[in-house]
Amino acid sequence: MQKIYLSLLLICAVYYSNAQWSSNTSENLKANVMPSSDIVTVGTSDGRTYIVSYTPFEGSYYLRLQLLDDNGTKLLGDSGVLVSPKYSGTATYVFTACVDTSDNIIIGYQYQRGGILRTVASKITPKGKFLWGAWGIELGVGLSPSVAALSNGDVAVAWSNDNLINYQKLTADGNIAWATPKEISSPSGVTRPQVVTLTDSSFGVVYQQKKGFFSSILYEQRFDNNGDAMWTEPKKLTEYITAVFHSYSVLSSGDITYIGYYANPANQNNFVGYVQKVNGNGVLPWGLSGSSFADYSGNFDPYFFDVNIAFDKANDRVWAVSTMSDFNQFNYGIAVQKYDGASGAKMLGDNGKTVFAISPSSERQVGDLSVCDNGPLFIFHDITNKLYATGLDTSGNFIWSGIKTEIGSTTNEKGRYGFTQVRHNQAVAVWQENKDTEDFAYAQNINCDGTTGGNILPASLTSFTGSLNNRIVTLAWQTRTEINNKGFQVQRSADGHNFSTINFVSTKASNGNSTGLIEYTITDQKPFNGNNYYRLAQEDKDGKLNYSNIIIIKNNGTFSMRMNAVYPNPSHDIVNIYVEAVLTDNVNFIVTDASGKIVKRINASLTNGNNNIQISIGALAAGNYFIKLISKNSYENSVQHFIKY
């Protein structure tokens, strides 16, 4: 019998591709190994960051989902998970996402069937489990859906359908509330809905009534739990013309809606920024068009674009940031404004606070606005395409010694920006960039003190190593300090992406705290054949996990069998498993879904040489699955992944 011997490979303290935040802003964190064509970014309540992106594939586009924890660890593998096997067609379209109170993500998107775009909603847990099925829930013909999680756990969705807007409600478990979608219409047509969550399971829809191909007027209507209009007539939010095909900054607090927008006032040749407030009864306490961003007079009257807003709830203040330009729109700058939440009075003067003057360096704010220590935090790029962040105090003054922090130092063109709200003293910027031959999604954290990166483990890890002897892996690590440490989950993976906990090592530190060197060791008696990827998940006393670097141990002693491929992939009815063996043996194939639940077991006999095992998957629901091969000696071979459509 032929034997194949390969030498042991030991890699100590090497970062794998899902490493955490880096201070090297010329590299940043690549959020997904799959190319990106469009991005939506959503932050969770505990500081994690969802990244939804379109990925081009054979002339079509598919949505993929990634989740980063607050250390920048990719929790859904290097390639994320496929949101749906349905493709959007040969182009990408507007899609949106939000999170519910359990930090599940709800994604509103569209797919193409028979040349017609159809609106779909999907709900996925932070662990990548599909709560509304792998295909999502189809809601009707149309595109550009907006989604909002309601206070009772339901989800409201509104989307454009020709010259009207349809809206529908889904219960928390994915049932459609109304037999047919309801609609908003007007004689001149409506478009671009944006749904906001209000109290008592009601919701609002901010939308645009068309006045021409490029122009519109902003409106809002409120709907109760039954989908019935709460106001006799939709509320007109401005007297002025706004740009159609443009989403404005919208947020809610209780029964109040705030809208940041820019418009072209009558008899003026420039764009002016505004913030509007809408009360629950439809009253506009800040005036028919809201409170203006600035009130310049004289010869200098800059244009204002993209007024992004954030709410400082603790002080009842609304912050706004806007990009300004000169008359020719050649040079740009950035200004901020702060409003009294009750009166709408401008608190930084009639013209706001200029952060970066209009100049040839052309700083332009991008992404959402965040708030840290009651002051604004935002990202921007300049004419070189470098990406920066800056933080201001409550008076709009710089608080960082360097004024700004570079978070993307390359000069490639960037776009599709996202910026999360501050959680755990940091916000996360996400953008699309071509650093080589294709566009990818990149991410970088920014702390409230203007620094980037951060420690991987609250338990300061000085080393993490592994060795192999007689097919047994020994793992060893040291800590220099520990703070409120419960212990370490020892996690293993066959592919470097999908980890499971194989053991737990309690802290040796007194009450979880130490300031001296502590050493730990543990053995893995049954490693996989082939590559074994190990990492530590340090667990705080409050249950929060922080991940170490990944090390790789190759267990290639006397090789008996190897699962090399699963095809076709994706598949609908049958998958073939290609196994290479050097002996005759009976084995088990274990099929699990994306949550780790076993859905199928298959017994098979292998012969010496190449084996093709065929498995029926027709009874499985559409989604992501994993196949594991276990031989009679209980050694688990590398896991293979496939998609059922």
Q: Which residues lie closer than 8 Å to 290 by C-beta, 6 or more apart?
A: 237, 238, 259, 274, 275, 276, 277, 284, 344
- The helix (run of H) or strand (run of E) holding residue 567 is strand 561-567
> Is the distance from CB of 76 to CB of 49 less than 8 angstroms?
no
Q: Which residues lie closer than 8 Å to 627 by C-beta, 6 or more apart?
A: 563, 566, 575, 577, 589, 590, 591, 615, 639, 640, 641, 642
For residue 29, count other CB atoms closer than 10 A to its CB.
Answer: 21
**Nearest to residue 316, comparing CAs of 274, 347, 284, 283?**
347
Strand order in the sheet with 164-170: 143-149, 155-161, 164-170, 182-184
Do domains 460-555 and 561-644 share one topology? The answer is: yes
- The helix (run of H) or strand (run of E) holding residue 452 is none
Give the distance, in angstroms, between the CA of residue 30 and the centroid of all CA atoms in the same chain: 13
Here the tokens at position 634 are 């209980």
- Give the model's pLDDT for residue 281: 95
Residue 373, burial from CB neighbour count under 10 angstroms (0-12, 13-18, 19+): middle
Q: Where are the domains of the chain?
A: 460-555, 561-644
d(CA 18, CA 5): 30
- Domain 561-644: give its CATH superfamily: Macroglobulin (MG2) domain (2.60.40.1930)
Phi-psi region of 425 (alpha: psi -120 to 50; beta: other; left: phi over 0): left
Strands in 342-471 per DSSP E: 353-359, 364-372, 375-381, 387-391, 405-408, 414-419, 426-434, 439-447, 460-469
**Nearest to residue 538, comparing CAs of 581, 578, 501?**
501
d(CA 380, CA 181): 39
> Is the distance from CB of 391 to CB of 377 less than 8 angstroms?
yes
Q: What 8-state DSSP symbol labels residue 371? A: E
For residue 555, count other CB atoms closer than 10 A to its CB.
Answer: 21
- The helix (run of H) or strand (run of E) holding residue 61 is strand 60-68
Q: Which residues of the chain have pLDDT under 70?
A: 1-19, 267, 297-300, 454-458, 460, 497, 556-560, 632-638
- The helix (run of H) or strand (run of E) holding residue 363 is none
Give the percent of the chain with pLDDT over 90: 56
Would you call 456 helix, strand, or coil by DSSP?
Answer: coil
The CA distances from residue 641 to 52, 225, 563, in Å, are 21, 42, 11
Tell the CATH topology of 460-555: Immunoglobulin-like (2.60.40)
